[in-house]
């Protein structure tokens, strides 16, 4: 992806991975609006919400779609613009030292199992290349300002997959201790018409 929204990391090593969730328009999956937002090609007339956000200059290093497709926007060695005003272990401006990973998702629907698997393997790869000391959520480094990855993101599930595939040390890097949502029953009670089901 030809994403221009990055620059050089100013100082220090990458030591943090930040998990995000995004859907554009909100709560709709499968379109190309996230790619367009991160490449500054979002059409402000395509949806009312796009009018508010099309001028943003933002990015993440990676985007994991509902079907598990992994898209890279920015090289992890470079600084992407995903965290905004943020703080981790007393350090401000988390973009400087973090890698941002967006999952296609929202606050009301469970994430797809394959998204956790792709995320776990991506995190393991990144941890082998960078001295990552923590894996956390956007809401944890920007509390009160950001809510993603949101209540449907199952940190316990990610932890179990990381541990099973890549060992306890990597699983131990996960910082949030959130309650796990009961995502399988929610999958069965799909709240939208089936033709809106994003797959
Ligand atoms: Zn975010």
What pLDDT is stored for residue 194 in this prediction? 47
**Among all residues, which ones are annotated catalytic?**
102
Full 3-state SS string of 124-177: HHHHHHCCCCEEEEHHHHCCCCCCCCCCCCCHHHHHHHHHHHHCHHHHCCECCC
Domain boundaries, the chain: 7-190
* 23: Cβ contacts below 8 Å, ≥ 6 apart: 29, 34, 104, 105, 106
194 alpha carbon to ligand 1 midpoint, in Å? 28
State in Å: Cα 197 to ligand 1 middle.
23
| Ligand 1 centre distance from Cα of residue 103 (Å) | 9
The H or E element spanning position 80 is strand 79-80
Checking if the pLDDT of 90 tops 80, the result is: yes
Provide mean pLDDT across the span 27-41: 95
Distance 185 CA to ligand 1 centre (A): 26
Mean pLDDT of 169-192: 67
Q: What is the chain's mean pLDDT, rounded?
A: 90
As a whole number, mean pLDDT of residues 165-175 equals 96
Whether 54 has a pLDDT exceeding 70, the answer reads yes
**CATH class given for the domain over 7-190:** alpha beta
Q: What pLDDT, on the 0 to 100 scale, is given for residue 19?
A: 98
């Amino acid at each position: 992806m030809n994403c221009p929204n990055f620059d050089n990391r100013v100082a220090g090593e990458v030591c943090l991975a930040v998990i995000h969730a995004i859907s554009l328009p909100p709560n709709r999956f499968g379109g190309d609006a996230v790619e367009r937002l991160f490449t500054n090609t979002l059409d402000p007339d395509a949806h009312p919400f796009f009018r508010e956000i099309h001028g943003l200059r933002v990015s993440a290093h990676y985007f994991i779609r509902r079907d598990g497709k992994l898209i890279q926007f920015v090289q992890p060695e470079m600084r992407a613009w995903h965290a905004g005003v943020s703080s981790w272990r007393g350090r401000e401006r988390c973009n400087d030292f973090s890698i941002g990973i967006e999952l296609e998702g929202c606050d009301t629907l469970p994430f797809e199992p394959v998204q956790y698997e792709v995320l776990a393997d991506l995190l393991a790869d990144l941890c082998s290349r960078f001295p990552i000391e923590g894996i956390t959520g956007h809401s944890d480094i920007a509390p009160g300002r950001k809510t993603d990855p949101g209540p449907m993101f199952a940190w316990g599930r990610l932890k179990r997959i990381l541990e099973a595939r890549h060992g306890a040390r990597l699983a131990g890097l996960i910082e949030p201790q959130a309650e796990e949502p009961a995502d399988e029953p929610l999958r069965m009670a799909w709240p939208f018409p089936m033709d809106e089901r994003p797959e």
